[in-house]
């Protein structure tokens, strides 16, 4: 069977599975809609959490980032993984013991203020919309290549699908769908990694093949990483394993991005809410352990796949006549994510360090003298003639490595599973924040279960439409968009959650001031540097890392304002103390 038939078959079966699970798990009450009834087993919740957290950025973009950035790209790996450990050990058990539905719910009750709840709600919506835009973009990329529709159409298909199973099943349906999606995405990531490792290095374990020698070809017997360093030197790129040298990010920026991703992970509302779905604090701790294990399977494989992808792609394209490129090259050109312009008119693809174009190229549908795809952006005056979007690396490498069509189709299904699983969790955060925290807790305390469910489902629809718009018009490629969401989370939620749990003196005035100042500074910096053309002005820290500075501002403002304002009521201080007492931690505490 052809690749397209395999893709339709495997993707179609997985979509039918997701919708079927959502239908059988459909809910009729708000507890089932928000937190799956609070009875999800720890093992299943660990798998669902892993799928919820490992988004399109983890599946599609992270290995692509590492393949192009080398050592510095591992800041995404370290930040996201370290952040989950931080969340699991420092925050999750205590938040579960609070027994709330949402992060704004926790903030509103802990800081005894509807205003604090409202500010947290706005932060949650900003974070979730930014994050879900990256997922929709990932869905569009997969559809555009493997189902041969344009990226925008792919985004719209993803919007319809995620709305169906998120609105029907709520958190209960999403949870069991995410269990299935984890199985799909991890299978789709591991199988090609094993196959490519075996083909390239002779070792079926990618983590070992990553440090091994190349099996055949002109580089036979050479260590893979040493070869990538040599290729980098020859082609004008930074050495693959170099740290903080020429052509790489400065140390302060790498540190800031890593820290931002770490604390941002610990403040992500769609991940935190997963720990409300288990029956007890002990189950929350256990599900966190399972999730770390399931996440580690992919995250220890990603650096190896990134290195395999870089070596395979460079060998396939560097100094290759355009007339002899394989079919996959033209297929990816059609998506606009791969483009070539013949600057010296010799008909040969010249791949060198430096950007090929002044901005991201867009496929125009025309061809030049040698058949190259013309682009709308002006080529830069340097030797590099090839534009490669980071997001194609994981998806294209199995095809470049000539793996069987069913494996390539499985990778497409895995990318969709990763994007859709996270998108569903994010949309539920948006829906629950508005229907529960705004409508029920602030506007209409007498609202019935039926009305609250209706509002929640309508808000999922609104969130899907907004996310789809930003998926079609993204501010960057998938991992960058997601990194911005982490910056907003680190500068808004992480400080007030930590202080709310561990410092009973934190006040509502401090929390409100801290959130506004932290996320305000972070958003201003991101808008300036991303959309207004302003160069990064704070010690050269990029917009992906500025959330670290926003976090420090939030901590400082919350702490300072809390010290000069009236202490929280005695009942709130007693509640904070009781949450940290181990007694009764094996049973659920509901409020």
The closest of 288, 55, 57, 278 to 175, measured between CA atoms, is 278
For residue 294, the model assigns a pLDDT of 92
For residue 511, the model assigns a pLDDT of 92
**Strand partners of residue 340:** 386
For residue 584, the model assigns a pLDDT of 47
Q: What is the pTM of this model?
A: 0.82
Other Cβ atoms less than 10 A from the Cβ of 401: the count is 19
- Token readout for 42 is 């720890």
Cα gap 506→82, rounded to integer Å: 26
Name the segment(s) of the chain with CATH classification 1.20.1730.10: 3-309+403-489
Which residues are CB-neighbours of 269 under 8 A, at least 6 positions away? 102, 103, 124, 127, 128, 429, 433, 489, 493
For residue 65, the model assigns a pLDDT of 83
For residue 507, the model assigns a pLDDT of 94
> Given the structure tokens 């939620």, which residue do they identify?
493
For residue 61, the model assigns a pLDDT of 78
For residue 589, the model assigns a pLDDT of 46
Cα gap 516→494, rounded to integer Å: 13
Other Cβ atoms less than 10 A from the Cβ of 569: the count is 10
CB 100 within 8 A of CB 454: no
Which residues are CB-neighbours of 576 under 8 A, at least 6 positions away? 110, 500, 501, 504, 568
For residue 585, the model assigns a pLDDT of 45
**What string of H, E and C letters represents the secondary structure of 86-108?**
HHHHHHHHHHHHHCCCCHHHHHH
Cα gap 345→533, rounded to integer Å: 33
**Strand partners of residue 386:** 340
* Alpha-helical regions (H) of 545-588: 547-564, 570-579
pLDDT profile of the chain (591 residues), mean per 10: 85 88 78 73 89 79 83 82 80 76 80 85 78 74 72 80 78 85 92 92 91 86 90 83 72 88 79 79 83 90 90 82 84 80 85 78 63 71 82 84 89 85 78 76 78 83 80 60 74 89 92 92 86 84 90 95 93 85 49 44
CB 424 within 8 A of CB 22: no
Phi first, then psi, for residue 319 (nearest 5°) are 55, 40
CA 563 to centroid of chain Cα atoms: 36
Query: CATH homologous superfamily of domain 3-309+403-489?
Result: Sodium/glucose cotransporter (1.20.1730.10)
Cα gap 54→418, rounded to integer Å: 6
């Amino acid at each position: 069977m052809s690749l397209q038939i395999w893709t339709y078959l495997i993707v179609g079966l997985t979509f039918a599975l997701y919708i079927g699970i959502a239908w059988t798990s459909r809910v009729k009450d708000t507890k089932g809609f928000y937190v799956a009834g609070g009875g999800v087993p720890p093992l299943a919740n660990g798998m669902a959490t892993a799928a919820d957290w490992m988004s399109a950025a983890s599946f599609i973009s992270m290995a692509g980032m590492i393949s192009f950035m080398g050592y510095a790209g591992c800041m995404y790996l370290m930040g996201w993984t370290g952040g989950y450990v931080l969340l699991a050990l420092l925050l999750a058990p205590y938040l579960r013991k609070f027994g709330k539905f949402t992060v704004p719910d926790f903030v509103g009750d802990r800081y005894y203020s509807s205003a604090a709840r409202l500010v947290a709600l706005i932060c949650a919506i900003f974070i979730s919309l930014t994050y879900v835009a990256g997922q929709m973009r990932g869905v569009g990329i997969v559809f555009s290549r493997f189902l041969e529709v344009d990226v925008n159409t792919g985004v719209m298909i993803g919007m319809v699908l995620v709305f169906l199973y998120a609105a029907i099943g709520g958190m209960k349906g999403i949870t069991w769908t995410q269990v299935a999606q984890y199985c799909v995405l991890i299978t789709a990531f591991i199988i090609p990694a094993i196959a490519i490792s075996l083909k390239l290095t002779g070792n079926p374990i990618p983590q070992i093949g990553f440090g091994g020698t190349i099996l055949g070809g002109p580089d036979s017997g050479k260590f893979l990483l040493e070869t990538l360093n040599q290729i980098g030197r020859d082609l004008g790129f930074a050495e693959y394993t170099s740290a903080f040298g020429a052509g790489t990010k400065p140390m302060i920026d790498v540190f800031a991005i890593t820290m931002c991703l770490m604390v941002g992970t610990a403040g992500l509302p769609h991940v935190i809410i997963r720990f409300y779905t288990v029956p007890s604090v002990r189950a929350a701790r256990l599900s966190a352990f399972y999730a770390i294990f399931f996440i580690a399977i992919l995250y220890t494989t990603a650096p190896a796949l990134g290195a395999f992808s870089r070596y395979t792609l460079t060998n396939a394209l560097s100094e290759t006549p355009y007339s002899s490129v394989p079919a996959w090259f033209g297929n990816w050109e059609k998506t606009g994510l791969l483009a070539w312009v013949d600057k010296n008119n010799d008909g040969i693809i010249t791949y060198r360090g430096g950007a090929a174009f002044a901005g991201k190229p867009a496929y125009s549908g025309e061809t030049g003298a040698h058949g190259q795809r013309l682009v709308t952006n002006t080529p830069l005056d340097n030797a590099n003639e090839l534009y490669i979007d980071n997001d194609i690396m994981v998806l294209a490498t199995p095809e470049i490595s000539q793996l069987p069509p069913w494996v390539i189709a499985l990778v497409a299904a895995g990318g969709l599973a990763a994007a859709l699983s996270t998108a569903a969790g994010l949309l539920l955060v948006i829906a629950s924040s508005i229907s529960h925290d705004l409508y029920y807790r602030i506007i209409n305390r007498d609202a019935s279960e039926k009305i609250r469910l209706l509002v929640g489902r309508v808000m999922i629809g609104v969130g899907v439409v907004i996310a789809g718009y930003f998926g079609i018009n993204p501010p960057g490629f998938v991992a960058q968009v997601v990194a911005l969401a982490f910056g907003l989370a680190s500068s808004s939620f992480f400080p007030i959650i930590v202080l709310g749990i561990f410092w009973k003196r934190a006040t509502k005035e401090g929390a409100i001031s801290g959130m506004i100042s932290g996320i305000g500074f972070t958003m201003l910096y991101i808008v300036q540097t991303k959309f207004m053309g302003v160069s990064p002005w704070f010690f050269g820290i990029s917009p992906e890392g500025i959330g670290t500075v926003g976090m420090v501002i939030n901590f400082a403002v919350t702490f300072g304002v809390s010290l000069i304002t009236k202490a929280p009521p005695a009942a709130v201080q007693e509640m904070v103390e009781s949450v940290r007492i181990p007694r009764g931690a094996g049973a659920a505490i509901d409020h």
